[in-house]
Each structure stands twice: as C-alpha cells, then as structure tokens.
Amino acid sequence: MAVHPERFDHQGPQTHSSDAAAAASPAPGLTLTHVACCVCGAEDCVPVGIGEDFEYRTSLDTFIAMRCRECGLIYLDPRPTPTELPRIYPPNYHAFDFSAERFGFVYRVRRSLEARRVLQWCRGLRDDARILDVGCGDGFHLRLLRDFGRPGWTLEGVDASDRAVDAARRAGLTVHHGTIEQLGLTAASYDLVLLIATIEHVDDPAGVLRAVRRLLKPGGRVVIVTDNTATLDFAMFGGRHWGGYHFPRHFNLFSRTTLTRLGGVAELDVESVETVMSPVNWVYSVRNTLVDWHAPSWIVERFSLRSPVALAVFTLVDTAHQIAGSGALLRAVLRRPMTGSATNGATNEATSRAARGAATDTPDMSAAAASRRSSAPQSAASAARTLFAHITHFATALRHG
Amino acid sequence: MAEPRNAKPPVIVVGAGLAGLTAAAFLRRRGIPVRVCEAGPQIAGLAATHVDAQGFSYDFGAHFITNRLAAAIGVSAECLPISHYGEMVRLGGRTYGYPFGLMRSPRFMLSGLGARAGQWASGSPRSAADVFRSRYGAALADQVAIPLLEAWSGALATDLAPAVANVLNHSIGHTVLLKIHSRLRQRAVAIGYCHELPETRYVWHVYPVGGVSLLCKRLAAELESCVDLETPVERILVDQGRVVGVRANGRELPAAAVVSTAPVHILARMVTGTDALRPLEHFRYRPMVFANLRFTGRGHLPDTMMWTPDGGAPFFRLTETPLSMPWLAPPGHTLITADLGCDVGDATWTASDEELGERCLQHLDWIPNIRRRYLGCRVVRSPVAYPIFLNEYEKDRQAFALSTGVEGLYSVGRNGEFAHWLMEDVYWRALNAMRQLIRDRVALAA
C-alpha cells in the first residue's frame, strides 16, 4: 500500500518472516507461464474447468482450463513452460509406445479403424507423394501408411520427444527430432501433412500451422485430428474430469468454430471440419472421475486404453453422438491456397480429388456432413449404416485377434 | 526508477498487495511498462502472513483461499487441501450449526418462513436492517444478523445501505448441494468465498503451507525489478480530467495510467487537479484488531469458525484456523483468532497484546480448562479492515463502483474498490479492471 506510512500502517507484531518456511521446502510444482488466446490473441478468459494430472500424476499442481470470452477457445492458463516438457511427458507416456505388446486387442482394433481413416485422407495422392506426420509419437500412423499405403510414398515424421523418436526409428521409420518450426525442412515439398492428436499439445498452434503451410506444396493439404469441446462429454465432465483436458498436456482445445478460425489465422483454406467418433475421452472422463474419488484400482483399470469393454461401450455411445453431428473428435482438412507459382496440374487435381474424397467418403464423416448440410435429423437408415460400420470394425478386429 | 528519458511512461501501480501485484503482473505480461510503488518495507499488504518464533502462523484475520485462486496464480502445488471447514453460531449459551442448525430452532424457523412468505409484500428496503428483517424474519435478524453486522461495521444497521446484504447470494438448494459434496469428498467446498465466479463443487479451500503471503510472493517474482519498496506515493497528478503522473518520495514521475489500491478516502486526498474524487473523502473503513490467542491442545471450538452475536464479548467472531489448516500451529497446539471491531486510538486499538488476550479469555470461559491451556496472545491491527457502506454516501459509492471519474485512474482491490470482495474476487476483478485499462488505451490511441 503506497501511501504515507504514518497514515496507513498495518501494525503487526515483531515476528519472523514466513520466507524461512517457504524457502525450507523446494517448490514441488511445475514452472508455469501465462498465455493469451492463440486464436484471437485476447487475454479475456474465464475458468471453466479445474483439475489435476489424474493420469500420470507428474506434479502436485492444480490446473485451470480457461474459455476465451472472445472466440470460445478452451486453453490451459497458466501452463507449464517448455522446460517442463520432460516432466509432464513421463517415460511411460502412452504415445511413446502404443504397441501391440502393451495394448493387445485394443491395438488391433485401433489399427484397423485408423488404417481405414488414414487411407481416406490419402486418397488421390500421387504414387510419389511426400507425407509428413507432425507429432508422430512412436510412428503408429506412419507404420499404417507404410503397411497399407502405396509403396512409392515418402513417409516422414516429426516429434519433439527423443523417446518417441527412438521408438519410431526402431520401427525403421524416418523421423526428424525437433519441432516443425525449428527443423528447417524443405519448403513446398509435402503433399500431405498429418497433425493427429498433436495440435492440442503445442504451445503455439498458429505458429505450427504456419510452419506446415510453408512445407506444403501449393494445394497440399493438412489433416488435423483433435478433441472436440462441443460435445456432451465435455458438457458433462468439463468442470473437472473431462478426458480431453489431459491436464496439463493439452494446451489448446477446439470446437468447429475455433478450429476453423485457427485455419484462417494460419492462412490456410478450410475444406472441411467434421466430427469423428471416438470413445477415448468418454473412457478417460469416467476414469478421471474414479481416480479423483479414490476408487479401487481394479475398477479404475476397467477404464483405460487397455479395456476393450469400456472402449466398446463408449464407441456405441459416441457413435450415437457422431450421428447427431457431435462426435468426440474433430477432423479438419485445410489446404494451402494455390498461388501463381503452383506446382503442376496433376498434383492440383490429385489433391482436390483427395480433398473431395476425404470430405465425403468415410462413413462417420458422411453422417456429420449430411446433418450439417441439411440441419435436419439424419435418416434412420443412414444412422444404422454408421453404427453397423463401427460394429463391423470391432467384429473384424476380434476375429483377427 | 531509472526509466530512459524518452521511454513511454509506465502504468504506475500504487500498492504491492494482492490486487496491485495481480494488476501489475497482468500488464507486464501484455508488454506494458509498469512500476509498483509500495510505501512499506515489504510486499503483500493485507495478504501478509506472520509466523512467530513458536511456529504459529496467522494472517490479517483468518484467510481462506480456493484451489482456483491458487491455480490461477500458480502456487497450487505449494498448497494443501482443506478437508473440512464449518461455521457455528453461539447464542444464549448454545451452539448452532450455521446456517442450517439455526433453522432447527422453531422460533428462527417460523420467523424465517414468515419472512419468505411475506417477502413479496415488503417495499424496497431503506437499510441493511430492513433487508435482514425481510429476508430472515425479525427473530433471526434481530438476534443474529443485525448484531453481527453492527459489531463488524461499528455502525447501526439502520444507517447501513441495503447493499451490505448482497454478499449472501446462494440459494438454499445450491448451498445444500455444495455441503453434501463437501462431506462426500472430504474437501472443504467453498461456500460464500467468491462472488465474481460461480462456486462449484470443484472449487474448494486450500491453503499455502508457508502462509497466504505466498500468493503475493509468486506474483512479485514475476515482476522482478518493477516493485519499488518504501516508495510512498504522495500525490496522483491529474490534468484536465486525465492522470498524468504521480509524486513519490518527493519526485514527480510521468504515468500512462495509475492503478490505485489505496483506501478511497486516502486516494481522494492524494489526487490533485480534480474535484471528481472529493466525495470519497467521507467514506469510512472499519478498523479491526485481530487477537491471536495461543493454546495447548486443539479443538477448543466446535468448528473452524464461530459467530458470537451475543452482546458482551469484545469479539464478534472466533476462528480456530488449525481445525482446517493443522499446519498453522505446532503439533499439540492451536490458535484462536478473535476479530474485534474498534476505532483507531480507542481502548481496544491501544490495548497491549496481553491485555487484549485477557479480555478475550474472560469470554471464553465456557471452554473447559481454557485458562490453564492459554499460552499468550499476538495481535495484528488494521486501520482499514472493512469498508462501511453507510447510507449517507451510498449514492456516491454506487457511482464510484462504476468509475473513478478520472481518465486513466483505476482503483482495484478490496479497499481500492471500497467493496466487500473476498480474496478470489480481488484477483479476478483486478484482471478485469486491467483488461478495461488496455481497452481504454486502445480506444485512446485510436
């Protein structure tokens, strides 16, 4: 209080300062930093969720998910500084080793589902296309492309974690260690960039997308898959336990609106933003609730990436939401605009064909697209087809398992 | 204060308490040059913590913060959760749970129900007394709410503005839900500790291990060299309705804007070059003496906080903080903080620590063996503990709540806003005020 001391004097007793007590114990928390909204730049936000690292317990901190009052983005503020990344991504982090050995049946189901999805995005690519997976983790999607894609494709990954890079390289993949902004990869050389469950982890999504834009050939596309905040699971669990928060590792969480706006910020054309069925956030929302309530571990373990029953149940639940146009994940297809110095016509045609394919061909996407186009309830026949497609995936995976 | 001569003048923040440091840190994050002028030799203001040689820790009155505030400032990992917090009322030698225990008494229940039923018929209230009587009924208002209000404010409830009563904003249903959740979770879910944001079942009390002053230390760490201690601001200079600078330690400093956390009657006297703040000179604060009585044993009060509306005792509230925060007293010991309203210079204000301890002890004789367990008393005094909402300046107060009336002058914090905000409110409201400051600057530049 900066007024005359004689006029304004809090008279306390002569005591020790509490500095001694504070200095005696080293800070058990992460070093945190404050940020503004990465989409609109505003720093006008309100808390919507408050939680902890329920999954890995990497620190004792409590975290706040803020909602930007300007654009609606959900973001972590304050958030760990870059120096804390090794701490918040522990050695047992699942993306570093999503292997058949560790995840068994679930691995096979996911592999089957994801192979189908990933190939949809690649439809129309030339035989010599270059594909970059940013935030590739242990290379799960790159392996799918290698195993099921065309032999002429050049596949590369980028990841900032040395553990993830090691795992991917052990699988024989080409992976660059670092961040896409710093690596200095060749500009305008990629036909397709994948950002699968990556954009929510990065500190500066607009910066990453601008870097992606630079790497893409004119007309080349980027496919972003990320958690969707405009969902029932967010509405139900968003106060604390929502799986998509993944405290403190998901820095920015999007809706259709904010992801579209982010594309604009990075000067990418938005071809489509659709929702995709996923049981994962549901399963982890329930799990986080159980962990927080100190439920016995045998119950908690029924809800994880290794529990086929929970995943199957919530696949059905989220399929219903997907049919209603609010699946748990978002998938955006953005395109680097054509410029005067465009590449040859064949590439352009191929990419635009691929874009059309990606926007209309997958069953989950066609449902969302249909409901968006007409704003009318989807026909029962179409809904049944979508549900059937997902059940078939499970059945197939079970058989092959 | 070695700013280059041609540099853009900084925003000057008056006071390094929670509000001032929050405001300064926010501006600094936005790249706005800022200087904090603190009159005293240390930061934290009313959010300071005292730890004595015996290991007892106490604040300016008992403070409770929330996990949300701790997380926002980034000190949550250094806080411990509180599993229980409860309030009681001691009335006529009996102890009632608050608020629902009181309702078990038929006369309070009937008076409360009667008041609810007749609420539609009552006209617009002219004073805090009117509000309490129409809301709780005569019995509860006259025996509990009004005596507490008067002991707390030092003014008659009939002289206080109806706005005083606005602090209780929860529905009964919501309170019950939060209490149930609190019991099930073994977490002291915050009820009535934040008005600025919704209180949910996930917002509960926590407390920093080293005392509540940790909040300010963390904010000050972010400000590095921007805080000037022992730099009292003597004048805030206004020219043509706009803040142009301050005079601190006898030197004039240009300022892009001034953010004051000073009590408003002092602010009014600091501002020169305008009459806009003249009405604030008459605003009054209630001085408060907090007597921290130390005892052996623990659990002398039936719950963490006890309201004592019966006349006779020098205090109106007792808080045994170690019941919620066991680490605030050494093992096997406890601390009871008694809140005594007073006036600067009166017998309570000038009494020695031991005199005050003795005076409080005389009214605690209903606690078994209390005198035998007594270890002494430490007193903390604040001349500006709570704003008093007198009807005589209520119109001016409402106008001031909208704006200081001076371009580039912002007043934040509990004393700066002259409002009954709690710690978390102070934080979020200071941020909002700084957002407004930035918007105003942008508008001005355009």
ipTM given for this complex: 0.91
Q: Which of B26, B50, B270 sits opposite A15 (nearest CB)?
A: B50
Set of chain B residues whose Cβ sits within 8 Å of the Cβ of A9? 383
Q: According to the model, what pLDDT value does residue A399 have?
A: 42
Q: Is the pLDDT of residue A356 over 80?
A: no
Please indicate, yes or no, whether residues A135 and A60 belong to a single structural domain of this protein.
Answer: no
Q: According to the model, what pLDDT value does residue B14 have?
A: 97
Helix (H, G, I), strand (E, B) or coil at B95: strand
Residue B228: phi and psi, rounded to 5, are -105, 110
Distance CA B265, CA B279 (A): 9
Closest-approach residue (CA) in chain A for B203: A50
Helix (H, G, I), strand (E, B) or coil at A7: coil
Q: Which of A2, A5, A27 sits opposite B77 (nearest CB)?
A: A27
Contact assignment for B15 to A2 by CB distance below 8 Å: yes
Q: Which of A8, A25, A50 sits opposite B203 (nearest CB)?
A: A50
Question: Of the given ranges (A100-109, A271-280, B247-256, B285-294), which has the lowest mean pLDDT?
Answer: A100-109
Alpha helices (H) along B172-257: 172-185, 214-223
Q: Is the pLDDT of residue B18 over 60?
A: yes
Could you tell me the pLDDT band of residue A386, with boundaries at 50, 70 and 90?
low
Could you tell me the pLDDT band of residue A105, with boundaries at 50, 70 and 90?
confident
Q: Is the pLDDT of residue A398 over 80?
A: no
Mean pLDDT of the A36-40 span? 95
Domain boundary among A72, A88, A104: A88
Q: Which of A2, A25, A50 sits opposite B71 (nearest CB)?
A: A50
Interface check for A5 against chain B (CB to CB < 8 A): the answer is yes
Helix (H, G, I), strand (E, B) or coil at A369: helix
Please indicate, yes or no, whether residues A314 and A358 belong to a single structural domain of this protein.
Answer: yes
Q: Decide if A2 is inside a domain.
A: no
Interface check for B378 against chain A (CB to CB < 8 A): the answer is yes
Could you tell me the pLDDT band of residue B192, with boundaries at 50, 70 and 90?
confident
Q: Decide if A8 is inside a domain.
A: no
Using alpha carbons, select from B252, B208, B207, B220 the residue that is nearest to residue B233.
Answer: B252
Q: What is the CA radius of gyration of chain B?
A: 22
Please indicate, yes or no, whether residues A51 and A129 belong to a single structural domain of this protein.
Answer: no
Set of chain B residues whose Cβ sits within 8 Å of the Cβ of A50? 67-68, 71, 202-203
Please indicate, yes or no, whether residues A68 and A100 belong to a single structural domain of this protein.
Answer: no
Q: Decide if A17 is inside a domain.
A: no
Could you tell me the pLDDT band of residue A396, with boundaries at 50, 70 and 90?
very low
Mean pLDDT of the B128-142 span? 89
Distance CA A249, CA B391 (A): 52
Domain boundary among A44, A71, A88: A88
Contact assignment for A22 to B214 by CB distance below 8 Å: yes
Mean pLDDT of the B11-17 span? 96
Residues paired with B206 in a beta bridge: B65, B81
Please indicate, yes or no, whether residues A188 and A61 belong to a single structural domain of this protein.
Answer: no
Higher pLDDT, A75 or A338: A75
Per-chain mean pLDDT for chain B: 91
Q: According to the model, what pLDDT value does residue A237 have?
A: 98
B372-405 burial: b if 16+ Cβ within 10 Å, else e: ebbeebbbbbbbbbbbbbbbebbebbeebeeebb
CA atoms within 13 A on the CB side of A159: 29
Please indicate, yes or no, whether residues A280 and A186 belong to a single structural domain of this protein.
Answer: yes
Please indicate, yes or no, whether residues A122 and A84 belong to a single structural domain of this protein.
Answer: no
CA atoms within 13 A on the CB side of B3: 17
Residue B16 tokens read as 């390094």
Edge-to-edge strands, sheet with B374-388: B94-98, B87-91, B305-307, B317-319, B333-341, B284-296, B374-388
Q: According to the model, what pLDDT value does residue B164 have?
A: 85
Look at chain B and count its residues: 446
Mutate to test the interface with A, among B26, B43, B76 (most CBs of A within 10 A): B76
Set of chain B residues whose Cβ sits within 8 Å of the Cβ of A15? 50-53, 378
Contact assignment for A12 to B231 by CB distance below 8 Å: no
Mutate to test the interface with A, among B18, B51, B218, B411 (most CBs of A within 10 A): B51
Q: How many CB atoms are located within 10 Å of the residue B272 CB?
A: 12
Contact assignment for B51 to A1 by CB distance below 8 Å: no
Set of chain A residues whose Cβ sits within 8 Å of the Cβ of B37? 2
Q: Contact B170/B194 with Cβ under 8 angstroms?
A: no
Helix H or strand E segment including B257: strand B257-260
Q: Is the pLDDT of residue A99 over 80?
A: no
Interface check for A186 against chain B (CB to CB < 8 A): the answer is no
- For residue B160, give the DSSP letter: B
Mean pLDDT of the A62-67 span? 98
Domain boundary among A88, A106, A136: A88
Question: Of the given ranges (A204-213, A274-283, B176-185, B428-437), which has the lowest mean pLDDT?
Answer: B176-185
Q: Is the pLDDT of residue B60 over 90?
A: no
Q: Which of B206, B232, B379 sits opposite A3 (nearest CB)?
A: B232
Q: Decide if A45 is inside a domain.
A: yes
Closest-approach residue (CA) in chain B for A43: B435
Q: Domains in chain B, please, with CATH?
A: 11-46+213-283+392-445 (3.50.50.60), 52-84+284-388 (3.90.660.20)
pLDDT digits (tens, 9 = 90+) for A168-200: 999 999 999 999 999 999 999 999 999 999 999
Could you tell me the pLDDT band of residue A18, with boundaries at 50, 70 and 90?
very low
Could you tell me the pLDDT band of residue B244, with boundaries at 50, 70 and 90?
very high
Which amino acid appears at position A243 of this protein?
A: G
Please indicate, yes or no, whether residues A182 and A274 belong to a single structural domain of this protein.
Answer: yes
Q: Which of A11, A17, A62 sits opposite B381 (nearest CB)?
A: A11
Please indicate, yes or no, whether residues A69 and A160 belong to a single structural domain of this protein.
Answer: no
Q: Decide if A382 is inside a domain.
A: yes
Question: Of the given ranges (A115-119, A186-190, A305-309, B234-238), which has the lowest mean pLDDT?
Answer: A305-309
Set of chain B residues whose Cβ sits within 8 Å of the Cβ of A21? 51, 57, 209-211
Q: Is the pLDDT of residue A350 over 90?
A: no
Q: According to the model, what pLDDT value does residue A345 have?
A: 38
Interface check for A4 against chain B (CB to CB < 8 A): the answer is yes
Could you tell me the pLDDT band of residue A384, with boundaries at 50, 70 and 90?
low
Interface check for B152 against chain A (CB to CB < 8 A): the answer is no
Torsion sign (Cα): B270, B276, B281, B287: negative
Interface check for B104 against chain A (CB to CB < 8 A): the answer is no
Domain count, chain A: 2
pLDDT digits (tens, 9 = 90+) for B361-404: 999 999 999 999 999 999 999 999 999 999 999 999 999 999 99
Residue B345 tokens read as 């210079």
Interface check for A10 against chain B (CB to CB < 8 A): the answer is yes
Closest-approach residue (CA) in chain A for B14: A2
Could you tell me the pLDDT band of residue B359, with boundaries at 50, 70 and 90?
very high
Please indicate, yes or no, whether residues A137 and A160 belong to a single structural domain of this protein.
Answer: yes
pLDDT digits (tens, 9 = 90+) for B89-111: 999 889 998 878 888 888 888 88
What residue numbers bound the domain in which A236 lies? Answer: 94-400
Could you tell me the pLDDT band of residue B120, with boundaries at 50, 70 and 90?
low
Contact assignment for A10 to B45 by CB distance below 8 Å: yes
Percent of chain B with pLDDT over 90: 72
Per-chain mean pLDDT for chain A: 81
Using alpha carbons, select from B22, B74, B23, B20 the residue that is nearest to residue B262.
Answer: B20
Q: Which of B39, B52, B209 sits opposite A4 (nearest CB)?
A: B39
Please indicate, yes or no, whether residues A373 and A329 belong to a single structural domain of this protein.
Answer: yes
Look up tokens 């392996």; give the residue. A143
Question: Of the given ranges (A22-31, A72-81, B144-153), which has the lowest mean pLDDT?
Answer: A22-31
Please indicate, yes or no, whether residues A226 and A275 belong to a single structural domain of this protein.
Answer: yes
Q: Is the pLDDT of residue B190 over 70?
A: yes
Mean pLDDT of the A361-379 span? 37
Contact assignment for A34 to B248 by CB distance below 8 Å: no
Q: Decide if A171 is inside a domain.
A: yes
Q: Decide if A150 is inside a domain.
A: yes
Mean pLDDT of the B59-63 span? 80
Mean pLDDT of the B238-255 span? 95
Q: According to the model, what pLDDT value does residue A73 have?
A: 98
Distance CA A230, CA A378 (A): 19
Could you tell me the pLDDT band of residue A385, with boundaries at 50, 70 and 90?
low
Question: Of the given ranges (B1-15, B23-37, B41-55, B134-148), which has the lowest mean pLDDT?
Answer: B1-15
Closest-approach residue (CA) in chain A for B268: A3
Set of chain B residues whose Cβ sits within 8 Å of the Cβ of A7? 266
Question: Of the given ranges (A85-94, B154-163, B410-419), which has the lowest mean pLDDT?
Answer: A85-94
Could you tell me the pLDDT band of residue B443, with boundaries at 50, 70 and 90?
confident
Distance CA B148, CA B158 (A): 13
Q: Decide if A21 is inside a domain.
A: no
Could you tell me the pLDDT band of residue A92, with boundaries at 50, 70 and 90?
confident
Q: According to the model, what pLDDT value does residue A97 have?
A: 62
Set of chain B residues whose Cβ sits within 8 Å of the Cβ of A67? none
Q: Which of B15, B38, B67 sits opposite A50 (nearest CB)?
A: B67
Interface check for A11 against chain B (CB to CB < 8 A): the answer is yes
Q: Is the pLDDT of residue B122 over 70?
A: no
Contact assignment for B51 to A20 by CB distance below 8 Å: yes
Mean pLDDT of the B81-85 span? 93
Interface check for A32 against chain B (CB to CB < 8 A): the answer is yes
Contact assignment for B40 to A30 by CB distance below 8 Å: no
Q: Across the A/B interface, how many CB contacts are shorter than 8 Å?
A: 155
Q: Strands A175-177, B251-254: parallel, antiparallel or unpaired by DSSP?
A: unpaired
Percent of chain A with pLDDT over 70: 76
